[in-house]
Homo-oligomer: A and B are copies of this chain.
Amino acid sequence: MKGTVYLVGAGPGAADLLTVRAARLLGEADVVFHDALIAEEVLRLAPRARKIAVGKRSGRHSTAQHFINKRLADAARTHQVVVRLKGGDPMLFGRAYEEVAYLGARGIRVEVVPGVTAALAASADLAISLTRRGAARSVAFVTPRVGKGERESRWVASVLAADTAAIYMGAGELEAIAAALIGAGKPADTPVAMVEDASLPGSTVQFATLADLPRLATRGGPTLILLGEVYREALAQAGAQRLRDRLTTSQML
């Protein structure tokens, strides 16, 4: 076996939120297989490499996982440094398992380079901690699966049991998410912060109660839904600001 396949976390979006190691490996890479959502600015860190988009993106054409696995193995037979670049961190909702297992079974060396996951970048944008001493000591990271029977409702139980929750890949199902959580007993007035394009220049933050979550709009960028009591103060401030804006508008009319 010739090369090594590096499963590299590209972080949340901003190019300077890659790790130093990820940036170095991109600079050395012969081939980079990357997710569809990786920014051009990040890919420019790999000037030597042939770049191949293989990532899945909801609603668009994507490459089947077994075909990605095979291409990674083929590349490692002919190149020294093969980078598989994944948004966020490879080991959290990244389907790295399939790639590690496939490559490992063929004796191909695999190294994983961790990255900054979206929930942490969103929390940095908000400047609101996921945890709070004495008040929030557990955080659930979940992907929702709505209306698929009992076994798939474990994400709901996990959100209910944690003080704070970060819901990945839920932007297309706001109504079903709110209904599932409220139906399972999560208070309808639980504060929610929804962050789109975390860490990027056009990043947006919206606050709402869980009951009002379905009213929020997204532009189709990577979106993270955060919920828990740690967002109550920010939700109240956002509400007060909206009220002030409305009063100012009505005085002007």
Question: Which A residues lie at the B interface, using CB under 8 A?
Answer: 9, 11-12, 14-21, 23-24, 89-98, 100, 104, 110-117, 120-121, 123-125, 127-133, 137-143, 145, 152, 154-155, 157-163, 199, 230
Contact = CB atoms under 8 A, between A and B. Distances in A.
Contacts of A97: 128-129, 131-133, 230
Given A19-B16, A20-B15, A92 B130 contact: yes
Contacts of A95: 129, 133
25 contacts: A9-B120, A14-B21, A16-B19, A18-B20, A19-B116, A91-B120, A92-B120, A92-B123, A97-B129, A97-B230, A98-B133, A100-B129, A112-B123, A112-B127, A114-B121, A114-B123, A117-B117, A137-B143, A137-B155, A138-B142, A138-B154, A138-B155, A139-B140, A158-B158, A158-B163
6 closest residue pairs by CB, A with B: A161-B161, A138-B158, A91-B123, A112-B124, A114-B120, A16-B21
